[in-house]
Structure 1
Amino acid sequence: MADQRDNILPSRRGVLLAAGALATGLIDMPGIAAQPPVDDAPLAAFVYEAIVTLGPAEEIGMTPHGQRVRIPITGGTFKGPRISGTIFPEGMDWQLVRADGFTELEAVYLMRETDGTVIQIRNKGIAGKGYAKTTATFEVPNGPHGWLNEAMFAGTVGPVPEMQTPAVRIRMYKLV
């Protein structure tokens, strides 16, 4: 039985390699037209807007990668068409200020949906020169908010000038 499987695998590999080479244009086969590229650019659907309050920044120091800064997440709220609730006052944003003037962001914190569900978010991004974008992953218990586990998310980060305390506005979008 193992001998038959060994004989089948090389032929399958050959077919797959040939199909890949044909698709990428490495092989020209008369009579077979090349397929036009598929428009697979992601679209984005609004998920929520969060106002995240922040504690005082703590300078950690210069590392081989840049200046490390720690910013406590002290709370906040989020609201969208399918979810809304509060942000736990115990998260952290570890920032790395690079020599090129950009800052790498990595925030990990918890949110509580109004139905009591605890949602963990890990939000990583880059900010500088008028640009501030993130990607987020969620960890949510199985149930009504499980859809957060099953997609990619992108966000924007900006100031909240109307607030007296330090805060950021995060708008999160599901890539579809």
Structure 2
Amino acid sequence: MADEQHDNLPSRRGVLLAAGAVATGLIDTPGIAAQAKADDTPRAEFVYEAIVTLGPPEDIGTTPHGKRVRIPITGGTFKGPRISGTIFPEGMDWQLIRPDGFTELEAAYLMREADGTVIRIQNKGLAGKGYAKTTTTFEAPTGPHGWLNEAMFAGTLGPVPELRTPAVRIRIYRLV
């Protein structure tokens, strides 16, 4: 058994060295090394602002990770330079209030673009101590909104003091 493991070491080393060479650009994987050589400092391009209305929170209880809360998403609107529409009244935000005072956010919901296209959204984020940021993934049908499937997105969260109903303002940015 020891000899079999020893015999496999060169092939394992080769795989690890090759992986490291690709990661550091020593081997040019088509397109990847060329992109890495360009200025890779992320920039943010505004995509839309959403006003998401919320139902009453439901305290699920304390888990080993913190206090779990469920908040229904009851609707809303979104508007940006390339996309706008409404938010379906059937999403959910599962929040985990951690012992350190931060809250982990995990929301999933659907949006209907003005042209009728239904787009699935998943926001994961972290809020607390004046910080509230998310990462967003989209699942859009192939077609005019397919660009949402082809990039990374980040967002900010904030209150909506001008509304009388509970809501959150979400601003989404595409990382370019």
- Normalized against structure 2, the TM-score is what? 0.81
Deviations along 1:101-121, whole A, 9 cap, x unmatched? 000000000000000000000
Q: CA deviation at 1:41?
A: 1.7
Q: CA deviation at 1:38?
A: 6.0
What SS does the aligned partner of 2:69 have?
strand
Q: CA deviation at 1:17?
A: 3.2
What SS does the aligned partner of 2:134 have?
strand
The aligned amino acid for 2:59 is: E
The aligned amino acid for 1:105 is: L
The aligned amino acid for 2:72 is: P
- The aligned counterpart of 1:88 is 88
- The aligned counterpart of 2:113 is 113
Query: Cα 1:39–1:68, aligned 2, differ >3 Å: closer, same or farther?
Result: same
- The aligned counterpart of 2:153 is 153
Query: Cα 1:19–1:152, aligned 2, differ >3 Å: closer, same or farther?
Result: closer
Distance 2:19 2:68 in 1: 48
Q: CA deviation at 1:19?
A: 9.9
Distance 1:104 1:18 in 2: 37
Distance 2:154 2:141 in 1: 21
The aligned amino acid for 1:172 is: I
- The aligned counterpart of 1:165 is 165
The aligned amino acid for 1:130 is: G
Indicate whether 1:75 and 2:75 are aligned: yes
Q: List runs of 5+ in structure 1 lacking aligned partners.
A: 1-9, 25-36
Report 1:1-20 matches (<5 A). Answer: 17=17, 20=20
- The aligned counterpart of 1:45 is 45
Deviations along 1:19-73, whole A, 9 cap, x unmatched? 957x96xxxxxxxxxxxx8641211100000000000000000001100000000
- The aligned counterpart of 1:142 is 142
| Higher Cα Rg, which structure | 1
Aligned length: 153
The aligned amino acid for 1:148 is: L
What SS does the aligned partner of 2:148 have?
helix
- The aligned counterpart of 2:130 is 130
Q: List runs of 5+ in structure 2 lacking aligned partners.
A: 1-9, 25-36
Distance 2:19 2:134 in 1: 36
Query: Cα 1:38–1:148, aligned 2, differ >3 Å: closer, same or farther?
Result: closer
Deviations along 1:58-96, whole A, 9 cap, x unmatched? 000000110000000000000000000000000000000
The aligned amino acid for 2:17 is: L
Q: Which runs of 4+ in 1 moved over 6 A?
A: none
Distance 2:152 2:77 in 1: 21
Distance 1:71 1:81 in 2: 29
